[in-house]
């Protein structure tokens, strides 16, 4: 599994919006607010965000404004569980809307393009049976039927900090090591790990 944070944005905008709730930024333009970095209002909101981020039920809504784009190459069994976090699904534990967008590598178009090797899978396997199907020109459906769930698939994922927080809370004690690898990789690369559990 490989996880790379490609881009992160929206932290300052989230703080500006958070400040509106407390009347701290109501009279400031975004540029004026950015000029406050290191000053009283900005620092006060950084502290407030650090406290509110751990409170669910709408108190940490500002986290929805902080977007993260991830490049993830993970085994199919990881993606089967990831699909829990598709757009518009509701997390019944927290009653929050889950937001996640994805662009995925297509096994339909990539299978058969090259002979499979050990690094196409999460753990080493001998892909000879699958390669025989590829070389014999078997249908993609037949090849996919034989493909182990450890086959690596790459996706570009766009989520926000609030969704990421939900994922981490729900998966931090999961039995699959892939979830621990994902959480550790993301936390080590993001700009504001202090906002996550």
Which residue bears the tokens 């014999």? 136
pLDDT (tens digit per residue) in 26-68: 999 999 999 878 678 999 999 999 999 998 877 899 999 999 9
Would you give per-residue pLDDT tens digits along the chain (197 residues)? 999 999 999 999 999 999 999 999 999 999 999 987 867 899 999 999 999 999 887 789 999 999 999 999 999 999 989 987 765 444 444 445 556 677 777 777 777 677 888 888 999 888 788 888 888 888 888 888 888 899 999 999 999 999 999 899 999 999 999 999 999 999 999 999 999 99
User: How many other CB atoms are there within 10 angstroms of residue 25's CB atom?
Assistant: 21
How many CA atoms, within 13 angstroms, populate the side-chain half-sphere of residue 19? 24
pLDDT at 86: 62
pLDDT at 189: 98
Cα separation, 12 vs 14, in Å, equals 5
Cβ(125)–Cβ(180) below 8 Å? no
173 Cβ partners below 8 Å, 6+ apart? Answer: none
CATH class of the structural domain 2-104+153-195: alpha beta
**Dihedral angle sign, alpha carbons of residues 82, 85, 90, 93:** positive
Helix then strand count (H, E) for the chain reads 9, 6
- Ordered by start, the domain boundaries in the chain are 2-104+153-195
Cβ(197)–Cβ(168) below 8 Å? yes
| Inter-CA distances, 194 with 86, 108, 155, Å | 25, 40, 26
pLDDT at 96: 52
pLDDT at 186: 97
pTM: 0.85
Kindly tell me the burial class for residue 70, based on how many C-beta atoms sit within 10 Å of its own C-beta (0-12, 13-18, 19 or more): buried
């Amino acid at each position: 599994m490989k996880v790379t944070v490609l881009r992160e944005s929206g932290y300052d905008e989230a703080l500006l919006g958070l400040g509106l709730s407390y009347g701290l930024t109501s009279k400031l333009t975004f540029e004026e607010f950015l000029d406050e970095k290191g000053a009283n209002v900005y620092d006060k909101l950084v502290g407030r965000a650090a406290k509110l981020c751990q409170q669910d039920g709408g108190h940490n809504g500002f986290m929805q404004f902080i977007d993260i784009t991830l490049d993830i190459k993970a085994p199919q069994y990881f993606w089967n569980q990831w699909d829990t976090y598709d757009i518009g699904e509701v997390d019944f534990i927290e009653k929050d809307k889950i937001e996640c967008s994805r662009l995925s590598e297509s096994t339909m178009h990539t299978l058969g393009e090259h002979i499979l090797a050990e690094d196409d899978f999460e753990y080493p396997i001998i892909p000879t049976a699958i390669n025989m199907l590829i070389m014999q020109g078997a249908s993609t459906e037949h090849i996919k039927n034989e493909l182990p769930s450890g086959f690596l698939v790459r996706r570009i994922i766009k989520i926000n900090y609030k969704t990421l927080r939900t994922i981490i809370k729900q998966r931090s004690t999961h039995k699959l090591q892939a979830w621990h690898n994902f959480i550790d990789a993301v936390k080590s690369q993001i700009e504001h790990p202090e906002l996550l559990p």
